Structure 1
């Protein structure tokens, strides 16, 4: 493979997603600093990326997503399921549902208790606040940022079914919570989104583009990293190509190389670069640079089966999303008014407990006053419907990501091991029963024409779990595959300053470093990690 001569920057970052875009911008705020960002995907020029409802168009677009699929899962009836990740500037935040969920304070206190200094909730809260700008004035004071570049808004589009959902939640003891990212997460309410002036805003659009304008950031799209370059155990740069079998280029870093490729691609890049379990590296015929058995292990993700109900007596998203009504909604969106075009796909939530004796919520019930055709990805149903999903917030099941070869155009083996833990199955069953309990409350029951899936014939615990195994999907919240931990943890990949163990001048800054999965979507915690990493890196000089 032919190679071009290298170029040199202060920092080389792999990945322009939620972490990489934000980190690059923060580093480039320091005078004289230069940053090269390598993004394997294309520019974020697809018009549907900016339209919130365009989520349904982009999340299944093979030009904008990595074509990964999980390995067959023993506890989900041997099924394989999509493992979607963004393959575009902006990363997964360019294709996701825009939900902004920080998680629970005890998630981060738990990270600190594992030996990760400086990662407790009091330590990381300022970084959450630094990124965000609550544009509608909402949120608990003392917990919410008002001056960051990333706009965060509450749901403004109104639908009577949402109110009925909150009434039903209250009837079973779940209180209303106006800010689940504030003092406490528990309760029912509407979601918050990274949407500004009716358009999706991610860290690439909020931060990276300004940094590029200064000339301090060199963004290269379509540039797929093939390996980290080393001089002994010192990371010196990245080798990358623009196409399979193409001429390899090299870019060098005066200070550090930083991997921000996400929890599926970062461990694979480490492995093909000689960092990982010796047995795997030997099978790949890759010389060992640092023997770290935890690389690619500890993969976590949320898993959710969904309940779909045919609706009567209330309007749903399905009613507004076709014909003249859709045109009207489009006009409302263009004129800055609340519209189905300007919202995410999941609107309501209830964070609650599978057991009253628990000290914090372990279940999430999601609510959408709309439904999709079974078997058709992203296609709204012809009939009015609503959809409820159940998650276990902190699944114990864990799996792995492993490179199949040194060819980074070959997809890695992705195995989340969904539902391997008995406790995961117990909590998920409790969540499915909670959905049924909500639907049975008078506020919602009067709008239930028919339960479409799993259907009223599915009643016993065994039947509900069988349904979960055959229908549930992942949450696309992959994390943990280069986990942070103290030297005493043999599976730790990075230390609490995010430096890769056994080598120098190499860090990981993305969801890979999470020691445990947070209680909710992972995009907001990933941005927090990038904000904190920027300070750690700049303090190091």
Structure 2
């Protein structure tokens, strides 16, 4: 099929067959996590403090300058404020970071105005992925059992995250916007048929692969396959990103090259909400499972 191996999938050209790196230290067998990499090492520092079971309600501003945050604790705990001496850094993940920004007045003015939120900066771009140079089809090594799945890592469809109330404790409205761009269905169809072709190659066919979903037994009729793919589609594989994209303000970006939020001072965003180059596990998944019958 002309698919070549990729020696280094992290060089910006993750095309071909390659192994995924695991986030485990080869020497200590320690997983990569916030606790192992930060908490266990930094807990001895006198200026390191964590407020458990606490949620930031919004960022406090003096003009365009972020000066602190308000927070709310679990039921019965007092609310409070924390003031920043240098800057405020948000690291609330791909969902709650834009939620906090919107509750703080940074976002779509139409959405915020309905909730009575004073707008500091008006702007929102419906975008999750745009310029990720990554693989198109990738097998999932963490599947349970001998199955394979199809992931789409560069969809053209765009989703959005919008606050539904003025409370940080109320979940925001997450719209994946799956297949809102018709090009995505065409790509998924090509991926599906390409996987069928791959399963017929001699090296894999000898294992006796059996298609179990989403369209087993169907003829390669384009309409029937597309309909089956649409019914089996899972809109996300839990790796949401680019909900606060790093791009120019006039193009709808949220942060600039230094991770600073546009139209503000002393406010930055970290984590994967603004996008990465090589590794994205996909926001669209066509779950075609293939059960391999190993010959004895």
TM-score, length of structure 2 as denominator length = 0.83
Report the Cα distance in structure 2 between the residues aligned to 1:205 and 1:370, rounded to whole angstroms.
25
1:476 alignment partner, one of 238, 248, 252? 238
Aligned-pair RMSD on alpha carbons?
2.5
In structure 1, the partner of 2:260 is 499
Say yes or no: does 1:217 pair with 2:48. Answer: yes
| CA drift at 1:367 | 4.5
In structure 2, the partner of 1:443 is 203
1:463 alignment partner, one of 217, 220, 224? 224
Say yes or no: does 1:293 pair with 2:124. Answer: yes
Q: Residues 229 and 245 of structure 1: is their aligned pair in 2 closer, same or farther, counting only changes over 3 Å? A: farther
| Alignment of structure 1 residues 338-357 onto 2, 5 Å | none
In structure 2, the partner of 1:410 is 170
| CA drift at 1:187 | 1.9
Q: Residues 399 and 227 of structure 1: is their aligned pair in 2 closer, same or farther, counting only changes over 3 Å? A: same
2:153–2:281 Cα contact (<8 Å) kept: no
Q: SS at the partner of 1:213?
A: coil
Q: Residues 424 and 500 of structure 1: is their aligned pair in 2 closer, same or farther, counting only changes over 3 Å? A: same
Report the Cα distance in structure 2 between the residues aligned to 1:522 and 1:477, rounded to whole angstroms.
6
After the TM superposition, list the runs of 4 or more consecutive aligned residues in structure 1 that deviate by more than 6 angstroms.
none
Report the Cα distance in structure 1 between the residues aligned to 2:129 and 2:75, rounded to whole angstroms.
30
In structure 2, the partner of 1:366 is 139
Q: SS at the partner of 1:228?
A: strand
1:494-523 per-position Cα deviation (integer Å, ceiling 9, x unaligned): 222222222211111222223xx7454269
In structure 2, the partner of 1:185 is 14
Aligned residues: 276
Report the Cα distance in structure 1 between the residues aligned to 2:277 and 2:185, rounded to whole angstroms.
18
Q: SS at the partner of 1:258?
A: strand
Report the Cα distance in structure 1 between the residues aligned to 2:134 and 2:64, rounded to whole angstroms.
44
Q: SS at the partner of 2:192?
A: helix
Say yes or no: does 1:508 pair with 2:281. Answer: no
Moved more, 468-477 or 222-231: 468-477
Report the Cα distance in structure 2 between the residues aligned to 1:267 and 1:183, rounded to whole angstroms.
27
In structure 2, the partner of 1:521 is 280
| Alignment of structure 1 residues 62-211 onto 2, 5 Å | 172-182=1-11, 184-196=13-25, 197-211=28-42
Q: Is there any run of 5+ residues in structure 2 with no aligned partner, and where?
A: 283-296
2:12–2:278 Cα contact (<8 Å) kept: no
